[in-house]
Amino acid sequence: MRTKFDGWPNVIYSQQFSRRWIEQQFLPLTDEMERIFRRGGCDLLKGKGMISFFYEPSTRTRASHEVAMRRLGGDVIFSTENAREFSSAKKGETFEHTIKVLCRYGPNVIVIRYDHEIGAEFAAKVSNVPIINAGDRAPGQHPTQELLDLRTIFKHRGEIDGLNIAMVGDLLNGRTVRSLSYLLGKYKKVTIYYVSPGPLMMKDDVKEYLRRHGVLVKELTDLREVASKVDVIYQTRTQGECGAVFDRRNQELGYFMVNREILDLMRKDAIIMHPLPCVDEITREVDDDPRAVYLTLQIDSGTFARMALLKMILAPKA
């Protein structure tokens, strides 16, 4: 069980954000950040420095945080990925010592991806600068991903209330679907369809949280049953690094692929999302469909969301 966490200016869990903050501060600021990005950036964070320290490989999360920092005029003063292999962690250095050492280099913020749950929360307890959780493992959370996902849905639909969404695949180990579920619990008349094989179903703690907050939760094993009903299909990969294994081609387990058959069932105004990387859960023919936003709007929202968070943390009065 996780310990109590006080929150801002650290970004650790989706639960720490209120709907009012999201709608009145965060979302409008992402639009401002988009305008700044399109103009080529600004010097709002000039003189500010970020350390990007990842214990697991990353493309989008690491790149977008670093791009966001530089587009706002700040500096990435140190960056590494797969730190479990390419830092003193391989020699046995404790996580606490690593964070304390990084703080001595004078960053204004540390973005960290840890390969165990509550890593970011622990880092925040020993750090003297803000910590941004870039994804905890097993199953953990990924709050900045879900803020960008929420922005993606909002930019497409204009609202979150009344959303019907199918979350598909390895829901047991997926940190993104956990965090997004927590955020959706803040909205009204939301229905979530969890589509997964029996052994990889969403954990009960999340489902109980959603039911307490009035979200309708339905579980099934065939995406075709709901593809025509939902506003969003949120596809996920199988988390092999967590030991998850299932063959999507084995229809005795169910139907968890997004392909031409699913496209034909979907509404014209629905969208397909994916936190990426995508392996075999979406066929390549889907990429060019205008409803597939995981290589377009969703990626853009990642940059603008992280620019907004960095601005709010490092220059709240600017």
Catalytic residues: 60-61, 91, 113, 142
* Residue 304 phi, psi (nearest 5): -70, -35
Tokens of 25: 């501060």
Query: What's the CA gap between 28 and 301, in Å, rounded?
Result: 12
* Residue 6 phi, psi (nearest 5): -85, -25
Given a contact cutoff of 8 angstroms between Cβ atoms, the answer to whether 223 and 230 are in contact is no
List Cβ neighbours of 114 (8 Å cut-off, separation of 6 or more). 55, 56, 95, 120, 123, 135, 136, 137, 140
List Cβ neighbours of 141 (8 Å cut-off, separation of 6 or more). 12, 13, 14, 133, 135, 175, 178, 179, 182
Given a contact cutoff of 8 angstroms between Cβ atoms, the answer to whether 203 and 169 are in contact is no
